[in-house]
Chains A and B, each alone.
Chain A
């Protein structure tokens, strides 16, 4: 309930700010269609990766690599959080 309330609060605040601004127009349909076509030809053929690397390996390694690359930030964030806890241990 608390987390839901916080998320809703932040979302509503963002919406209040965004509502003050005008709506940004969408890309032209023709451009979106072309973009979709290019992206779909990439996304629809991601299975081709399976020729070179095992799909299971990709699915396991990619999240691990992303975490490893950002581990420094995660570590510092965790430390920052821990420091916020009012413990009397020096």
Chain B
């Protein structure tokens, strides 16, 4: 027994040291492998430095001035290159690209397509899509912001959006123009990016960084408002109960727009202000709208009106509905009272009483929904605070379980290799980032795919047979009939000693493991 305990103790220490060794090795390796922190997800949005916009907020200032684009958010490391599509009627040329953060000019590539900018069934006249491709890994700084400057002719910007295709871009070969428009269209419809932009509206007019969506949002504070060029504050206008919004004249500039929000100021839908020339329907559940009329000097006389007739009608309807509800409520109460004392009714009070008792009994034993998850989250926060580094293994284990639960057979098997460079010499990349889609390769060849599926079938059968074997062994161990192999550890110490003096001349230790079937049972 003692030797077994000694053996077990040594075995434990050995395993502990081995784990520590591997952790150390991992930490060491991580120091040598420079892994670019390009995080998952891609809720990117584009912003411009306010000083690069003209006073109307939708136009880059004149040529020979560097305009700074910033693409912020979280980058998806499965894309080597990103494409920022600008609906723009000026000129941005490839030769004029420069940035302190772009390590070489080849990392930024500008391509102008001849497709008119079109979104929400409106055409941005004069504008065409200009695509700016950039290498995310090279231009992103530590705050996950890609910054680069372009020289423009001061053209108008209709819309800026980020592509989020599942394909890594080959930025030098260009893309199919139709696809570009489709992708931008879907981004507008989708549209996490614009939601983010509008949700993050900057209400401080003195802030130099203006989001392109922010531009010059007007302060509109009633149901019938004239835009005020002297006031460029952002404000939410209540629209609850209104049926539509209409702009009375056509003084709407490119780059202007509107966005509806619910009661909690969450974005519902938005679009170009051109749409509200003919009246735009207030979506169901909308409580607020923000409207941008573009250039203050020309939009000064614009008049945005809510459909007041519809508003009054709506108010009348609301009152009628309320009266109807009250009437129904009184009759309903009388009906309910009768049904409570009618044994044939399902509302009979005895049934209700039994139902109430059952519910009470259930609530006595069954915790409310989400109780355990809330308790666990709260408890883990406390444990992490209290136990400090001792809680780290638990956190890692929980992360592992979450990753396991998130495994999905629909995910493609993609091997991502980050840029590998020598620490402190990050500019000199030994191996450039690349990714390899294993699933796609296997699927591309029928014969290869069949072979792979056959292999997976074989593994499935193998694992199932092993599982059945495990179940059998467990059954035998608990209920008898155990015929599994037992491991025996044998430790032998042998000594050579002098017969005359008894002095130990040499010793030898021998450990061996043997397997033997358990007999009987």
Residues on A facing B (Cβ under 8 Å): 1-4, 7-8, 11, 15, 18, 21, 23-27, 31-32, 34-35, 37-39, 41, 43-59, 61-62, 64-65, 68-69, 71-72, 75
Contacts and interface: CB of A to CB of B under 8 A. Distances in A.
Given A2-B365, A26-B389, A43-B400, A58 B407 contact: yes
Contacts of B416: 44-45
Contact of A46 (B379, B403, B474): B403
B413 A47 contact: yes
B396 interface: yes
Contact of B474 (A24, A34, A50, A68): A68
B456 A53 contact: yes
Interface string B346-365: 00000000000000000111
A52 B438 CA distance: 11
B138 to A, nearest CB: 20
A43 B460 contact: no
Contacts of B399: 39, 43
Given A34-B30, A39-B399, A57-B460, A3 B407 contact: no
Interface of B: 23, 26-27, 29-31, 35, 40, 363-368, 371-372, 375, 379, 382, 385-390, 392, 396, 399-400, 403-404, 407-409, 411-416, 438-439, 456, 459-460, 463-464, 467, 470-471, 474, 477-478
B452 to A, nearest CB: 8
A54 B404 contact: no
Contacts of A58: 407
B382 A3 contact: no
- A-side binding surface: helix, strand, loop or mixed? helix
Contacts of B29: 38
B467 A65 contact: yes
A65 B470 CA distance: 8
A54 to B, nearest CB: 5
A61 B388 contact: no
B27 A27 contact: no
Contact of A38 (B27, B371, B408, B413): B27
B407 A47 contact: yes
Nearest to A49: B407
Contacts of B439: 50
A1 B388 contact: no
B409 A50 contact: yes
